[in-house]
Amino acid sequence: MMTAAFDPVRACWICDGTTLLPVHELIFELSAYGVQDAELASYTGSRLALCRCVRCGFAQPAALPALPRYFDRMYDQRWSDDWIRSEFEADYKDEIFAEILGSLARRLGPARRRLLDVGAHAGRSVSLARAAGWTAEGLELNPKTAAYAAQRTGATIRQLNVHDTRVGDGVYDAITLTDVLEHIPDPVRVLTRAASLLAPAGWVSVKVPCGPSQLLKETWRGRLLSRYRPTVADNLVHVSHFSPASLRRALERAGFVDVAVGPGAPELPATPGLRGTLSRASRRAIHYAARVLPGGLHTPLTLNLQAYGRRPAAERER
C-alpha cells in the first residue's frame, strides 16, 4: 500500500499571512486513475482542510500533495473527440467572453488587439476574439484540446505552460485568464508572469469563482438536500479560492495598477425547456442584483469575480 504524502502550506499565497482558519474539508477520489497512474490514485480517501486567511480572505488547502507534478497528472485526461467538439460549440460562456472582450477593447483603444488566452481549452474564446477583430493566440496544456483548438480556430494555440520561455515577453496588449487561476497553486506567480508577457500599458482580465459565495451556496445546498455533501475543492481541482479583496491584492502584488474587481457574468447552461429558461433567468437576475445593489460585490449574490489590471506604462508608475 502506497502512502499519500503531503507538504504543509503555512502562509497565505496572496498576502503571506499565517493565521489560516479551516472553513471546509475536502476529499480525494482519484480511483478512476487506478490503471493509468497508481501513485496518483493512492491519494483516494485522503482528507484536507481548506483554510481561509483572516487577513485577506483568500482560501487555500492546508497542504499540497507531495507527489511530483500532481496537478499535471490529474489534468492528464484523455477526453473524447465528441466532448471536445461539444465544448467548442457550446455557448454557455459566451456572455462572459463578450463582456471580457468588450471591456478590454474599451480599455485599450482601437489600435491594440494582440491577445493571449491562457488556458484556451477547446478554443471557443479565441474563436470569438478573432471574430471580434483581435489577433488572438492561446496556450493550452492538454494536447488533445490544444490540437483541436488550433485546427478549429486557425489560430496559434501552443501546448506550453505560461512560464515557458518560448512565450514572448512584452508582446501582448491583453491577456485573458478565464476560469484558470482557481486551478493553480501560488497564483501571484502566474499573474507576475502575465504582467511580463504584456506590453507596457497592456491589460489582464481574470475571471474566477467567488470563493466565499461558492462555499456558502454549497453549504446551504448540503443543508437543504439530504445525502448531498458540499464540495468546492475535492481533489484540489479548485485550489485557489479568491474573495474580492484577495483578488485585488493578488493583482496589485503582481505589479498591476488601476485594478478593478466586480461581479463576473454567469455561465448560462443550455438546459432545454422551462427549467433551463428559469435557470438562465435567475442567474441573470442574481448577476444584475450583484452589480446594481450597493455593496453587492461583497454579498453572496456575487458568485463569480471579474477583475482587470493594467501593466504600468513605465517602471516609475509603480
| Residue-wise burial string across 55-69, b where 16 or more C-beta atoms lie within 10 A, e elsewhere | bbbbbbbbbbbebee
Interface with Zn ion, residue 250, by CB under 5 A:
no
Closer of 194 and 250 to Zn ion (Cβ) = 250
Strand duo 63-65 + 6-8: pairing:
antiparallel
Using the rule CB under 5 A, which residue among 28, 33, 43, 58 binds Zn ion? 58
Of the listed pieces 50-58, 78-86, 104-112, 193-201, which binds Zn ion according to CB under 5 A? 50-58
Residue 8: strand, helix, or coil: strand
Q: Name the minimum Å distance from CB 52 to Zn ion.
A: 9
Q: What is the closest distance, in whole angstroms, from the C-beta atom of residue 298 to Zn ion in the complex?
A: 16
**CB 12 to Zn ion: min, Å:** 3
Are 194 and 256 within 8 A, CB to CB? no
Q: Determine if 55 is a binding residue for Zn ion (CB under 5 A).
A: yes
| Dist CA 61 CA 66 (whole Å) | 13
| Cβ atoms within 10 Å of 299's Cβ, excluding its own | 16
Report the C-alpha gap between 174 and 198 in whole angstroms.
7
Strands (E), 141-232: 157-158, 172-178, 198-209
The secondary structure element, H or E, covering residue 123 is: none
Q: Which of residues 1-20 bind Zn ion (CB under 5 A)?
A: 12, 14-15, 17
Minimum CB–partner distance for residue 53 and Zn ion (Å): 3
Find the shortest distance in angstroms from Cβ 297 to Zn ion.
Answer: 18
Binding of residue 59 to Zn ion (CB under 5 A): no
Nearer CB in complex with Zn ion: 90/245: 245
For residue 243, give the nearest of 18, 12, 19 by alpha carbon. Answer: 12
Is residue 50 involved in binding Zn ion (CB under 5 A)? Answer: no
Whole-number minimum distance, CB 55 to Zn ion, in Å?
Answer: 5
Which one, 249 or 311, has the nearer CB to Zn ion? 249
What is the pairing mode between strands 198-209 and 172-178? parallel
Q: Report 194-233 residues binding Zn ion (CB under 5 A).
A: none
Q: Closest by alpha carbon to 206, among 240, 234, 237, 232?
A: 240
Find where cell 472582450 sits.
Answer: 101
CB of 240 to Zn ion, least distance (A): 11
Interface with Zn ion includes 53 (CB under 5 A)?
Answer: yes
CB closer to Zn ion, 54 vs 131: 54
Contacts with Zn ion by CB under 5 A lie at: 12, 14-15, 17, 53, 55-56, 58
